[in-house]
Amino acid sequence: MNKPISRDIHILIDYSYAAIVPLLPELAGFSKLRMAKTACRLLGAGALGYTLLTKAPYTALRVLPFRAHLVIDAAVSLLALATPWLLGFSRNSAARNTLVTVGLAGLSVNLLTDLAKKADSAQETLFI
């Protein structure tokens, strides 16, 4: 299978994830659900934290191998999928559907990321 997402693009997607997911309770209309709101904030902060530690372009400390980053991404995505049931807000369709979508999107990006592929040119790096 051709995996179209390079490491560089994956990291940029992760930064977007870290910025957008904490805002989803307000955007999707479930900001009054404390557990769902907290879950989104923690998912975003966690993604930002381990992305900054990853050995990849556009990161800060570069101590976490990219393969380990992908394993954490997969685990976080599975956690996001299960969160509505684990934290008891599965009956709220906005919160449940948002977290399920976040989990599925995370898994999709993970599965479409090529471990060996680096951006070929500056043009690819700018394409998101």
Q: How many domains does the chain have?
A: 1
Residue 59 falls within a domain, yes or no? yes
β-pair partners for 64: 54
Q: What's the rounded Cα separation, in Å, for the pair 113 and 96?
A: 26
Assess contact for 89 and 95: CB atoms under 8 A.
yes
**Is 124 among the domain residues?**
no
In a domain, 1, yes or no: no
The pTM of the whole model exceeds 0.85: yes
Backbone angles phi, psi at 57, to 5 degrees: -60, 155
Does the residue 19 lie in any domain?
Answer: yes
Neighbouring C-beta atoms of residue 118, cutoff 10 Å? 13
pLDDT band at residue 1 under the 50/70/90 scheme: confident
Q: Where in the sequence is the domain holding 35, given as residue range(s)?
A: 7-110
Identify whether 83 is part of a domain: yes
Q: Please tell me the predicted confidence (pLDDT) of residue 105.
A: 98
Residue 107 pLDDT class (50, 70, 90 cuts): very high
Is residue 48 domain-resident?
Answer: yes
Residue 17's pLDDT band, with cuts at 50, 70 and 90, is: very high
On whether residue 125 sits in a domain, the answer given is: no
Specify if 117 maps to a domain: no
